[in-house]
Structure 1
Amino acid sequence: MTYLRRTLVTVLVALLLGALFSAAPAAAENRWRTHEGTIDGADFLVKVPKRWNGTLVLYSHGLYVEPWKPERIMLATRPETEEWLLGQGYALAASNYKGVFGHAIEEALTDQIALLDWFQATVGRPRRTVTSGMSMGAVISLKLAENNPGRFDGVLTQCGEYDVNGTWNSALDMLFALKTLLAPDADIDLVRPRDPQAAQAALEAVVAEAQKTDAGRARIALAGALGAIPGWALAHEPEPTVPADRLAQQALWVTGAYLYGYGPAARPEIERRAGGNPSSNTGIDYRRQLTRSTGLDLVRHAYRAGGMDPEADLDRLAAAPRISADPEARAYLHRHTVARGTTPSPVLTAHTTGDGGAVAGQARWYGDQVRRNGDPGLLRQTYVSRGGHCSFNAAEEIVLLRTLLSRVDDGRWPSTDPRRLTAAATALGSAYRLVPDLFDPQGGEKAMSPLFTRFTPPAHPRPSSESR
C-alpha cells in the first residue's frame, strides 16, 4: 500500500506542476525544421514550418520535480496542439530553463528571452510573438510580457499560478493546521527543516493515520478549506454532489498535492532559491479564513460526522505559535513569482473549475491585479467545467490560442461566450479531445467533450497583497 501511494504521489506531483506528456505525436516532420541546442546552460527546442506564417508561440512549461522530467521539451500543453499549430504554419519554441527542476522562475525569465533573441537572430523576426504557459509556466509567461514590454503581442495562460508566493503561504496554512490539530506535540519542522526527509515521513504518517477516522478526516477537511481546495479532483468524473465524495476528493488534493508538493521535503528547494523561508502565517485569523471559504459547509458536515465541534479546533489554531518569514526570502519570491497585472499586451487566461493544484481563486486574484495596475480591456478570463489541474484537451487549448491571436490581429476581442468557445472547440473533432487525469497512477487519458462555462471563482485564500 505504501509503495502504491508513493507511486501515485510521484506521478501526481510530476504531472500536477509539470508536463502532461512526454512524447510527440507521429507527424510528417519533413514539414518543419527542428533546431535544438543549449543557450547559457539551458536546453531549447524550436520547430519552424517550411511555410511559416510569421507567428511564433514561445511556450513556458510548469514545474518539474526531480528526478522526473519529460523525454522531450514541451512546445504546448497538449501534443495534439503542437501538431495542429505546426500544421497551421506556426513556429514553436521553448526552453527547459537552467537547472530544469524546481521553481526555476528566475532562470526561466532570462532563458526564454535568450531563446527569443536567438530565434530572431537565427530564424528571423516574427511578425507577431505570443507567449503561452501552464501552471508555473503561466506566471513565467505573464512576467515575460510584463518585464519586456513590446516583445510580446499576447499572452495565453492555462491553469495558472499567478501568485506563487501566495500559494506557498496557503500551503503553509494547510500544513500548519494538519500538524497543529493532528500532532501538536510532534517535532516536525514545517519550514527551515533540520531533517527534511524525517519531518516529511513523520507528517505523512500522522496524516495517513488521520484518514482512518471521522475525526481525522474532519481535520483534513478543515485544512483543505483554509486553502479553498475544491471537492473535485478527478478529471474523468462529473463533479461530485454527495458530501462524502466531495470530502474524499478534497482530501486527494490536500494529501496528494500539498502534503507532498509543499511539505518539509519540498522546502529546501524553495528556501535555497529564496535565501530563507518565504512563508508566514503571522497574524492570520483562521476562524475568519474558514468563514470566508467555500469549503465551510464541507467542514461542518465532516465535523458533524465525527461528533466534533470545529470551534474547539479553531481555538487550538488561534493559540498555536506562528511562523514568520525571512523578509529577504519573501521579497525574492514576490519579485520573481508574482504577476503585477500591468498588461502590456492582451492576456487570455483559462482555468478548470475543479482545480485544486492552482486554485481558481488565483485567476480571480490576477483579475484584481489587472484592475489595479493594468488595463482590464486587455484581459479576458475563461473557465472549463472539469476537475483536475491543467486537465484541458487540445481542442480547448487551440480555441484559446485562436481567440488570443484574433485579438492580436484585429485589435478587439472576439466573443468569449462559453457556448461559442465550446462550439468552436467541438468543431475541431474527436482527435483533439483527450484529457489526462492527474490522479490516475497510470497516466490515463480519456476523450472528453469541450465544456467552457461561466464561473465566478472563490477568493484567493492568501494573496500576497495580504502577506507583505
Structure 2
Amino acid sequence: MTARPRHTIVLCAALALAACAPWQDKPRAAAEAAPTAAACPQDIAAIARCLSGQDSAGAYYLIALPRDWNGHLVLHAHGGPALGAPQPARAVEDLERWSIMVRAGYAWAGSTFRQGGVAVRAAAEDTERLRQIFVRHVAQPRRTLLHGQSWGASVAAKGAEMFQRTAGGQRPYDAVLLTSGVLAGGTRSYDFRTDLRVVYQYLCGNHPRPTEPQYALNTGLPPGDPMTQADLRARVNECLALDKPAAERTPAQQRKVQTLVDVIRIPASAILGHLNWATFHFRDVVQHRTGGASPFGNAGAVYQGSPDDAALNAGVLRYRADPEAVARFAQDADLQGSIPVPVLTAKGIGDPTAFVELDAQFKATMERGGSGARLVQTFTRHDTHSYLSDPTYPTLLAALLRWVDEGDAAKPTPEAIARQCAPMEARFGKGCAFAPDYVPAPLATRVAERERS
C-alpha cells in the first residue's frame, strides 16, 4: 500500500470529523424578513394561499398553505441541481410538480437554494433556513416532514444528519421522505457517468475532437471552454443519432448506441442526459468545489457487455481520482448514515436516472451509521424518475406520520404501504404500483468497481 502524503491524511481526517459533527440549529432565522403573499399555481389556487420571499443568503422560496391544512409541513429539497444563479420560477415549478401534497392537506415549502451547482451542504442549510422562516413567520407545524427528490434526496439526507436539534432541544424534522433519490453519496453515485464519458469517447472520439485541445475527461470540461448543452447534443447526435428512431440510424450508429446501453446499463433515452451531467456538472464540481482536481476516476474498472471487451478495456482513457478532491467532495456530498428520525424511501424499479442499486448502497450506509432500524425502503413498478404517481406520495406521507405518532409499533412494511395505497386511488386517481417483494442488488452489480484512494 502506497504511503499517502501527510497533508492528504490531515485534510481527510479534518473533513471526516466535520462530516460526522451534527450542526445545531444553524442557520438562524432571526434576521429573515417575513414572506409576502404570492399567486399560487393554477391547480391549487382555489384550495390554498401562497407566500414567497428571498432569504438572507439569496435563495428564493415559495410556501403553500391549504385552506384545510392538516397541520403538517412538507419541507421540500428539489432535484437537479441547476447550474447558474437561482431563479424564483424554480420554486413555482417545484410546487406545480408536488401540488399533490397540498391537495392532500399538507403545507409545502421549497427553496431554490442560494446557488446553482453541486453543493449539498449549502442546499441543506438553505432548506433548514426555510423551515425556520416558516416557523417564525407562518405557523408552528404539528409535524415537519423533510422531503428530498432525486439529487435533493441527498440534500435532505445530509440535512437530517446536519440539523439534529434546535436551540430548544427539539428535532427540527420529525421524519424524512426520499423519493427517486441519488443516495450513494457523491463519491460513488457518479461513477457510472465517468464510465459513460470514457466509453463514449472511445466509441465516438468527438468530445473532445482530435483537432481540439485534449483534457482529462473526468474534469468535465477545461476552464473557459465555451461548449453549451446544444453543442453537446449536436456532437452526440452526430455520432449516435439519438434524435432519430433506431430504425433510421446507420448500423454503425446503432452498434455504438447498443454498446453504451449494454456497458453502462442505461437506456438509450438517458445517454444524453447523463453525458450532460458528466460534462457540465463535473466541471462545476472540479472548478468550484474541489479546487481544480477531480474526485472522479475509473482506474481499475473492468467494463463488460461490448462486442469486444478486451479492446474496450485496453482502449478507454483511465483516470485516478485525486485523493484531496475525493475528501473535499465526500465532506460535502457523502452521507454518514446517522439520521435520528424515521426515513422512508421510494423509487421506480426502472428509474433511468437514479437506478435502484443506489438505494442498496444507501441501506448499507444507514446500517453502517447505526440508523438501519430507522429505514424502510419501497419500490414501485414505474420506469420514471421525476414523478411516480399521485396516490404514491400521500400514501408514503401518511405511513411516515403513523410511524412518527405511534412509534415502532406502527413502523411500516413495504407490504403494508402497498395495501394502504389502494384506498388513496379513490381520492387521487389511479397509479399505485408498489412492488413490496422487490430488493435491489448491490451497487457493484450495476457499476464496475474501481480503485479508490
Q: Which residue of 2 aligns with 1:286?
A: 302
Q: Is the 8 A contact 1:179 1:203 kept in 2?
A: no
Task: Tell me the alpha carbon deviations over residues 235-266 of structure 1, each in whole angstroms, 9 at most, x when there is no partner.
Answer: xxxxxxxxxxxxxxx111123x1122322x44
**Where do residues 108-127 of structure 1 align in structure 2 (5 Å cutoff)?**
108-127=123-142
**Where do residues 102-113 of structure 1 align in structure 2 (5 Å cutoff)?**
102-113=117-128
The 1:53–1:115 alpha-carbon spacing in structure 2 relative to 1, beyond 3 Å, is same
How far does residue 348 in structure 1 lie from its aligned partner after superposition?
0.4
**Where do residues 61-76 of structure 1 align in structure 2 (5 Å cutoff)?**
61-66=78-83, 70=89, 72-73=91-92
Q: Which residue of 2 aligns with 1:161?
A: 182
Q: What is the TM-score with the length of structure 2 in the denominator?
A: 0.74
Aligned residue type for 1:369: T
Q: Which residue of 2 aligns with 1:449?
A: 431
How far does residue 285 in structure 1 lie from its aligned partner after superposition?
2.6
Distance 2:448 2:142 in 1: 37
Greater shift in the superposed pair: 51-60 or 372-381: 51-60
2:283 to 260, 268, 276: 268
Task: Tell me the alpha carbon deviations over residues 396-416 of structure 1, each in whole angstroms, 9 at most, x when there is no partner.
Answer: 011111111111111124443
Q: Which residue of 2 aligns with 1:208?
A: 238
Q: Which structure has the higher relative contact order (CA within 8 Å, separation 6+)?
A: 1
Q: Which residue of 2 aligns with 1:425?
A: 421
Secondary structure in 2 aligned to 1:452?
A: coil
Q: Is the 8 A contact 1:182 1:207 kept in 2?
A: no
Aligned residue type for 2:434: F
Q: What is the TM-score with the length of structure 1 in the denominator?
A: 0.72
How far does residue 466 in structure 1 lie from its aligned partner after superposition?
6.3
1:173 to 172, 188, 195: 195
Task: Tell me the alpha carbon deviations over residues 205-252 of structure 1, each in whole angstroms, 9 at most, x when there is no partner.
Answer: 3663245444544444444444442xxxxxxxxxxxxxxxxxxxx111
2:143 to 124, 128, 146: 128
**Where do residues 212-361 of structure 1 align in structure 2 (5 Å cutoff)?**
212-229=249-266, 250-255=267-272, 257-263=273-279, 265-274=280-289, 275-287=291-303, 290=304, 296=305, 299=306, 303=307, 309-317=308-316, 320=317, 322-361=318-357
Distance 2:70 2:427 in 1: 24
Q: Which residue of 1 aligns with 2:167?
A: none
Secondary structure in 1 aligned to 2:190?
A: helix
Aligned residue type for 2:186: V
The gaps in structure 1 that reach 5 residues or longer are: 1-21, 230-249, 291-295, 304-308, 434-447
Q: Which residue of 2 aligns with 1:196?
A: 225
Q: Is the 8 A contact 2:154 2:333 kept in 1?
A: yes
The share of aligned pairs that are identical, in percent, is 23
Distance 2:96 2:401 in 1: 17
How far does residue 41 in structure 1 lie from its aligned partner after superposition?
1.2
**Where do residues 20-31 of structure 1 align in structure 2 (5 Å cutoff)?**
23-29=41-47
Distance 2:180 2:449 in 1: 18
Q: Is the 8 A contact 1:172 1:279 kept in 2?
A: no
Q: Is the 8 A contact 1:37 1:43 kept in 2?
A: yes
Distance 1:156 1:324 in 2: 35
Distance 2:138 2:233 in 1: 51
Task: Tell me the alpha carbon deviations over residues 256-295 of structure 1, each in whole angstroms, 9 at most, x when there is no partner.
Answer: x1122322x44432223312243332532324xx3xxxxx
Q: Is the 8 A contact 1:59 1:76 kept in 2?
A: no
How far does residue 176 in structure 1 lie from its aligned partner after superposition?
0.5
Q: Is the 8 A contact 1:228 1:359 kept in 2?
A: no
Distance 1:121 1:80 in 2: 23
1:416 partnered with 2:413: yes
Task: Tell me the alpha carbon deviations over residues 17-71 of structure 1, each in whole angstroms, 9 at most, x when there is no partner.
Answer: xxxxx94514424x55635343321112223456654422211111254579646
Q: Is the 8 A contact 2:59 2:114 kept in 1?
A: yes
**Where do residues 371-382 of structure 1 align in structure 2 (5 Å cutoff)?**
371-382=367-378
| Alignment: residue pair count | 385
Aligned residue type for 1:196: D
Secondary structure in 2 aligned to 1:428?
A: helix
Task: Tell me the alpha carbon deviations over residues 376-428 of structure 1, each in whole angstroms, 9 at most, x when there is no partner.
Answer: 2210001111212133112101111111111111112444334x434433323
1:47 partnered with 2:64: yes
Q: Is the 8 A contact 1:57 1:93 kept in 2?
A: yes
Distance 1:82 1:267 in 2: 33
